[in-house]
Amino acid sequence: MYPAPFRYHRAATVEEAIARLVEIGEGARALAGGQTLLVWLKMRFDEPTDLVDIGRLPGLRDIEQEAGRVRIGALATHARIARAPLARQIPIVGDCASGIADNQVRSRGTIGGSLAAGDPSCDWPVLLTTLDAEVHCRGPSGTRTLPADGFVQDLYATRLEHGELVTGVSFALPGKGSAGAYVGFKRCAPAFPTSSVGVQLTLNGDDCTEARIALGSAGLTTIRAKAAEAELRGRTLGAGVIAKAAAAAAAAAEPVADQRGSPAFKRSLIDALVKRGVEVARRRARGETVEVSHEYY
């Protein structure tokens, strides 16, 4: 199917893009890499009157580290992030970026566009919730910094206001004894995950002092599995403890039935993925190099 007719505008600066979006009104949409928006247009899922191309805005592709924090510009592509030294320094980031779709999508799709789409199956909201990241935005009222946890409020709905753009994300560098893993299960590379899980642990010897677990494709938004985190925090990570955490994560999920599977099937996946994610994160926190890739069926 072809998209409905629309007018195309190319912005040269962030300020120009915001002004154009505000001027046009509710019919305007920002276009970054287009890997989500163009699919929506072809399906007539959305029929905007105008597209404002922000894909060439300067200064929004950088990946930087300063004062113990990482900042990733909104127009950094999945492929750029996957190739960056950051993906090796913080392997959970590489897990996520390198597992998104296929090479074509990774080369065009952007982290900011993925967040702004508000799709509960997207990988980046899960990863950024796991890392307790912040989302940086700029709009007609100025700049704002929002927590990644809760940024997606409902199905395809975010905390962005009209005319507001995501300009980047940031998170703290994991400390000593801290590591994570991002694992997903999908039908094929281009598909969204049937279920995905992000796990970040901090260990003191064999004991878990801090844990953070986020679930994707588990409901209408990214779900923070706080009860599962509590099962790990302050405990030695034996098989029984991990099993209880996985069960708590599955119980926190609110998956819907679709072509990817039933709610029961998705909960069973979450149980298995949490166990795998915790084990990989534990090994990495102990200094091991562990490669992770999405599972396919």
Residue 2, in any domain of the structure: no
Q: How many CA atoms lie within 13 A of 8 on its CB side?
A: 9
Residue 254, in any domain of the structure: yes
pLDDT for position 297 = 76
Element of type H or E holding 97: helix 91-99
Closest to 11 in 3D by CA, of 50, 61, 62 = 50
My answer on whether 167 and 193 are in the same domain is no
1: pLDDT strictly greater than 90:
no
Element of type H or E holding 52: strand 50-53
My answer on whether 84 and 102 are in the same domain is yes
My answer on whether 45 and 76 are in the same domain is no
My answer on whether 17 and 93 are in the same domain is no
Pairing mode, if any, of strands 195-204 and 207-216? antiparallel
* 3-state secondary structure at position 129: helix
pLDDT digits (tens, 9 = 90+) for 233-284: 999 999 999 999 999 999 999 999 998 999 999 999 999 999 999 999 999 9
What 8-state DSSP symbol labels residue 49?
S
My answer on whether 263 and 221 are in the same domain is yes
pLDDT for position 108 = 95
My answer on whether 73 and 160 are in the same domain is yes
Domain count within the chain: 3
Which of 124, 150, 172 represents a domain boundary (last residue)?
172
My answer on whether 13 and 92 are in the same domain is no
pLDDT digits (tens, 9 = 90+) for 52-108: 999 999 999 999 999 999 999 999 999 999 999 999 999 999 999 999 998 999 999
My answer on whether 258 and 276 are in the same domain is yes
Element of type H or E holding 246: helix 239-252
CATH number of the domain at 283, please.
Answer: 3.30.390.50
Which of 140, 172, 204 represents a domain boundary (last residue)?
172
17: pLDDT strictly greater than 90:
yes
294: pLDDT strictly greater than 90:
no
* 3-state secondary structure at position 33: coil
CATH number of the domain at 69, please.
Answer: 3.30.465.10
pLDDT digits (tens, 9 = 90+) for 138-197: 999 999 999 999 999 999 999 999 999 999 999 999 999 999 999 999 988 888 899 999
The boundaries of the domain holding residue 18 are 7-52
My answer on whether 117 and 164 are in the same domain is yes
My answer on whether 186 and 292 are in the same domain is yes
Residue 1, in any domain of the structure: no
293: pLDDT strictly greater than 90:
no
My answer on whether 48 and 69 are in the same domain is no
Residue 126, in any domain of the structure: yes
Residue 217, in any domain of the structure: yes
Residue 38, in any domain of the structure: yes
pLDDT for position 250 = 98
pLDDT for position 254 = 96
* Count of beta carbons in the 10 Å neighbourhood of residue 128: 28
pLDDT for position 191 = 85
Quickly state the pLDDT bin for 19 (edges 50, 70, 90). Answer: very high
* Count of beta carbons in the 10 Å neighbourhood of residue 70: 21
Q: How many CA atoms lie within 13 A of 224 on its CB side?
A: 17
Task: Decide: 233 and 242 in contact? Cβ < 8 Å.
Answer: no
Residue 57, in any domain of the structure: no
